[in-house]
Structure 1
């Protein structure tokens, strides 16, 4: 994304910049992610982000909003590194002779990058996060910490326990990256067209473009996120045969709008996330690339 024209992106620089951006973004936005996940547990339509925030802080303090955060910071750093590295490589392959890439090709590159990050990094970290958040709401938590949670999940469910909901995660991440990268690239090109040739977008504009891409991403991919969360809960194995059965039960038992439950905190998180991750990436990539042979 930082490379211009026919210049070839450097995978290591993409990995360093992406991982740095992902780790920072995960820590800053995690409370919103925690609230979104908790909202998706509740069938009660009266439960709101604000009531959950108040209840969580009153019962468990601020640290209650950070249950499971270590796994997500590590997972987010890895997934962002994988996402940006693979996206940049797919984008390079899909550029035309002039070094330009169309919106459909940018979307295809994002889709491929999202699928890869889902398998390599996202599913295990999201499973751990979801189980840790749900477990933290119990009077006597089963997991004593992130590492204890990982050990017990593997002991009780096998390695497959870390990959519950991999199908919905692949769909969500593929759709997320396809929509986010294509919308970011399109808006960025329009913004650059309004500036003098050779000008670099100021940081505030990069943040704003990333935030706009986040808004578009939330509303188009929210159902995948809700299904993914349900498939990764502690009792999911007993409740749902597969992702399609999970979606069917949500729609028939709770209504189709339940597929957009948790939109408000996820919107807040991805608006911040889009702004942070693209801004940090655009700043770190040139520095990392200049230090590499």
Structure 2
């Protein structure tokens, strides 16, 4: 079965995308954990999102609080490197990979859907709109499909990463609370934060692919495929990550909203509240770990994907 007009099979394309996704997830999860914890600390500092009591053993906003006190970690982070040190020293090095199982579970379907859709749509629209505009539109449509598919797992991962206490039954307890949340609030509760996620990921995807295609078409040739895709992926990822960070902050707020009995606030109101309380810089909390994760992650992912496709393409021609 040929795909997208390339002399590679769909199975080979899936292998190329999954390899990059798995490597990226394992290497970059610690940066995602630190980013989430810094954003969660800011939400706690506002005095609005964390109640005085928590449910089960976690303060995660999934259920009605029980009657025992909420024991939050007294550790406060002053920055990215401080968070890395304190999380690993007080909670164990392995806590930096908290949320990795659902991250890996998300990586396979999300990557397959996202990259497959993007390649199909890019080929469709580039001939009509040009390389950059076609990539922009393809990035938008592909991201909507992939983000909608994995939104429930994204919410679970974010909550797991934001938890201060890390004990062996963490996922068992989390699963129990998720189940009760669905029973009480319905299946749509699993999509809490999808709006901000789309507002973060769709512009990110559009900006990323448009920048990537522009850089590749302007500065590089096919002979430099690995180096060029690695560099273009890192630069494009850094630009897109910076411009869309405020939506990432709001997404984290909504997914770890710990207010007892409160109705989730609209994204616009949250953006305004964060800006008023923390200043403009509050909308860019976690930018260092986000860039430290996103730039190399994009570089690893796209270079692995393009190199994998090139390998299979050449192998099939032998």
TM-score interval, smaller chain: 0.7 to 0.9
Does the Cα contact within 8 Å between 1:33 and 1:266 map onto a contact in 2? Answer: yes
Does the Cα contact within 8 Å between 2:14 and 2:112 map onto a contact in 1? Answer: yes
More displaced 10-residue stretch of structure 1: 85-94 or 14-23? 14-23
User: Is the aligned partner of 1:173 residue 2:188?
Assistant: no
User: Is the aligned partner of 1:118 residue 2:147?
Assistant: yes
CA distance in 1, matches of 2:205, 2:237: 10
**For the aligned residues, what is the CA RMSD?**
2.8
User: Is the aligned partner of 1:242 residue 2:270?
Assistant: no
Does the Cα contact within 8 Å between 1:131 and 1:234 map onto a contact in 2? Answer: no
Does the Cα contact within 8 Å between 1:106 and 1:181 map onto a contact in 2? Answer: yes
Please report how far the alpha carbon of residue 101 of structure 1 lies from its aligned counterpart in structure 2 after TM superposition.
3.4
Please report how far the alpha carbon of residue 156 of structure 1 lies from its aligned counterpart in structure 2 after TM superposition.
2.5
Partner of 1:89: 120
User: Is the aligned partner of 1:104 residue 2:133?
Assistant: yes
Task: Select 2:178's aligned residue among 153, 166, 172.
Answer: 153
Does the Cα contact within 8 Å between 2:215 and 2:232 map onto a contact in 1? Answer: yes
Does the Cα contact within 8 Å between 2:238 and 2:291 map onto a contact in 1? Answer: yes
Partner of 1:188: 216
Distance 1:148 1:288, change over 3 A: farther
Partner of 2:32: 33
CA distance in 2, matches of 1:227, 1:9: 40
Does the Cα contact within 8 Å between 2:126 and 2:133 map onto a contact in 1? Answer: no
Please report how far the alpha carbon of residue 239 of structure 1 lies from its aligned counterpart in structure 2 after TM superposition.
6.5
User: Is the aligned partner of 1:252 residue 2:280?
Assistant: no
Aligned length: 278
Task: Select 2:85's aligned residue among 54, 62, 76.
Answer: 54
Tell me the secondary structure at the aligned position of residue 262 of structure 2: helix
Does the Cα contact within 8 Å between 1:56 and 1:64 map onto a contact in 2? Answer: yes
Instruction: Decide which structure has the larger Cα Rg and report it.
Output: 2
CA distance in 1, matches of 2:144, 2:86: 36
Please report how far the alpha carbon of residue 173 of structure 1 lies from its aligned counterpart in structure 2 after TM superposition.
1.4
Tell me the secondary structure at the aligned position of residue 42 of structure 1: helix
Does the Cα contact within 8 Å between 1:22 and 1:78 map onto a contact in 2? Answer: no
Does the Cα contact within 8 Å between 1:22 and 1:77 map onto a contact in 2? Answer: yes
Tell me the secondary structure at the aligned position of residue 224 of structure 2: coil
Partner of 2:69: none
Please report how far the alpha carbon of residue 60 of structure 1 lies from its aligned counterpart in structure 2 after TM superposition.
1.1
State the Cα deviation string for residues 179-219 of structure 1 (Å, max 9, x = none). Answer: 11111111111123xx5xxx422423321111111111111
Partner of 1:133: 161
Distance 1:82 1:252, change over 3 A: same
Please report how far the alpha carbon of residue 48 of structure 1 lies from its aligned counterpart in structure 2 after TM superposition.
0.6
Does the Cα contact within 8 Å between 1:9 and 1:92 map onto a contact in 2? Answer: no
Structure 2 length normalisation: TM-score? Answer: 0.78
CA distance in 1, matches of 2:7, 2:276: 50
User: Is the aligned partner of 1:211 residue 2:249?
Assistant: no
Please report how far the alpha carbon of residue 46 of structure 1 lies from its aligned counterpart in structure 2 after TM superposition.
7.0
Please report how far the alpha carbon of residue 36 of structure 1 lies from its aligned counterpart in structure 2 after TM superposition.
0.6
Please report how far the alpha carbon of residue 154 of structure 1 lies from its aligned counterpart in structure 2 after TM superposition.
2.7
Please report how far the alpha carbon of residue 125 of structure 1 lies from its aligned counterpart in structure 2 after TM superposition.
2.3
State the Cα deviation string for residues 254-293 of structure 1 (Å, max 9, x = none). Answer: 22221111000000101110110011101222445666xx
